[in-house]
Amino acid sequence: MCGILFSLTTPDRPVDQNEWDILKELNTRRGPDSQNLYQAQVCDCSNGGNLDLQFYSTVLHLRGADVVPQPRCDQTTGNTLCWNGEIFGGVDVACGENDTQVLMNTLEKASTETEILSVLQSIEGPFAFVYYRASTRKVYFGRDCLGRRSLLWLRSETGAFMLSSVGKAKTHQEDADSWEEVPANGFYCIDLNVNIANADKQVNTELPRACSIPLQLFPWIYMQNNNKPDLLREGKLSFPFPRLNATIPDLEVIEGADADTEPVIDQDMKRAIAEFRSVLGESVKKRVADIPYLDTKGQARVAILFSGGLDCICLAALANEYLPMSESIDLLNVAFENPRAEKAKTQPPKKSKNRKPKKSQLEGEPEEKQLVEQEKRSIYDTPDRLTGKAGVEELRHIAPERTWNFVEINVPYPEAMEYRQRIIDRMFPLDTVMDLSIAMAFWFASRGKGIVRVDGRTVDYESHARVLISGLGADEQLGGYSRHREAYRHGCWERLIQETQLDVDRISTRNLGRDDRIMSDHGKEVRFPFLSTYVVDWLCQQPIQLKMDLRYNRGTGRELFNLVQKQPR
């Protein structure tokens, strides 16, 4: 995980120094292990001035034996790279190597623009980047095709063009300039050779501008007929996965009591279970391997964002297979105090003049005493807390020799309000109530401060794991939302395939950038095994009924996901 901050300025479009300093500080929270600035100046002969470029990078050490400072700059060529990402495939990075340095070396060998795009397109993993090729005077930047890392741009009418991993909210409503997320629809290029006076004749004027220079877009598109080299020559990038398998299943309708039974595991399902477990396991393995051992007094290197759902239990069980048994794994479970719910609990029950107090079915006690017993339960026993407790017991049964730290992160209402504005600032430019609700949960989870229970005692605990594992992407691809069931109910298999394709298509435009900004505020990195492009590729190729058979009732129809979880290890 790193922080990226870049500016392009001209004499009449200066950078706001106060904003630059604030952004440097915010990006340093993302990368506390190293911070560096590199500056370059390009003669803008056609426009009678100079173009000034500033590259500022911060580093959170997560790969290799030593911290590798950024930006990476070749002193001979002047080429410069700011990299915020992880390379899990596509470019060979040996165990112990730093992926930023490997990528820089690989890009230095690329002699043409097509080769540069080919290298960046081939990367499997989450990333955002800024890369300057001095010989051609071009700046490339963008995000991976699923938008798993944050990158924002400030397209100012009067000031500098800026890119940053985290933005600064407007202080006045009338401010014209505002930060926006760079669309994850391709890689962008600023050609510093463009004559601004004739720019409209040279490039697509519908694209945004950087200091009056229109940007060039190399878009992601679905590949047809395996023509990847031809696409690159046309300035297009091919998605690393196809559109969904649209084959309509020829299956009988299931109704009544049969809809409550578990699906039959035929040979196709057995094959799918084995393959899915292999590809998802490899994704988890790459995301928990080679994390440096830091001075954390033997604490966990990996933590799971843990609600107790199928997705996070699967990931925790797979992480257990690829981490040394001597290491603990943190399971981060967040619960918030709800003042309104607590107030409702303390209200005396309405009494009827014509009936006696009810007896408890379990203890035979009057209703008033039963209410007292209920109040003894923790105010943080939310649904996710209860499923989380059940989930960790399942993991302890699977791997009793592993230390599973179930970290109960309890957030009192006053504390939530204390950090509310900071969280709003970090999730910017997203600003809805739903964004805030999710962002608060992620922010407190990634902070990692809570309690664990040891031998019946409650002990304060803080997770120092820098890598957080999230199950995001499972519901979108494996039928986890109510809208999938509604789609099947209204339009059977065809409508279900369309709805699932829509979910895959909009992953890059949803909230991954927000999640990255929120969790990196504590110097942590979130990784998404279900969103490995290798996993997405495999799932897209499978027939829809293997992933979700919604002929069955709720709880049995997420077929592949349910059955993988039930397989013996």
Element (H, E) at 546: helix 544-547
Rounded to an integer, what distance in angstroms lies between the CA atom of residue 83 and that of residue 58?
A: 9
Amino acid at 420: R
Contact indicator for 394, 331 with CB cutoff of 8 Å: no
Q: Within 10 A of 250 (CB to CB), how many other CB atoms are there?
A: 7
Rounded to an integer, what distance in angstroms lies between the CA atom of residue 564 and that of residue 440?
A: 31
Contact indicator for 292, 473 with CB cutoff of 8 Å: no
Contact indicator for 545, 251 with CB cutoff of 8 Å: yes
What is the edge-to-edge ordering of all strands in the sheet holding 302-305?
457-462, 449-454, 404-411, 329-336, 302-305, 467-469, 525-527
- CA-closest candidate to residue 517, choices 126, 85, 166: 166
Residue 276: helix, strand or coil by DSSP? helix
Q: Label each residue of 92-143 as H, E or C.
A: CCCCCCCHHHHHHHHHHHCCCHHHHHHHHHHCECCEEEEEEECCCCEEEEEE
Rounded to an integer, what distance in angstroms lies between the CA atom of residue 424 and that of residue 329?
A: 30
Catalytic residue among 2, 73, 145, 312: 2
Rounded to an integer, what distance in angstroms lies between the CA atom of residue 170 and that of residue 172?
A: 6
3-state helix vs strand vs coil in the chain, percent to 5: 40, 20, 40
Label residue 554 exposed, middle or buried (CB < 10 Å: 0-12, 13-18, 19+): exposed
312 included as an active-site residue: no
Q: Which residues contact 155 (CB under 8 A, 6 or more apart)?
A: 161, 177, 180, 208, 209, 210
Rounded to an integer, what distance in angstroms lies between the CA atom of residue 208 and that of residue 214?
A: 6
Strands annotated E in 306-446: 329-336, 404-411
Q: How far apart are the first and last CA of the chain?
A: 32
Provide the CB-side half-sphere exposure for 155 (13 A, CA).
Answer: 12
Sign of the C-alpha dihedral computed for residues 438, 440, 441 and 443 taken in this order: positive
- CA-closest candidate to residue 508, choices 242, 237, 144, 218: 144
Amino acid at 59: V
Strands 213-214 and 186-191: unpaired
Q: Which residues are catalytic?
A: 2
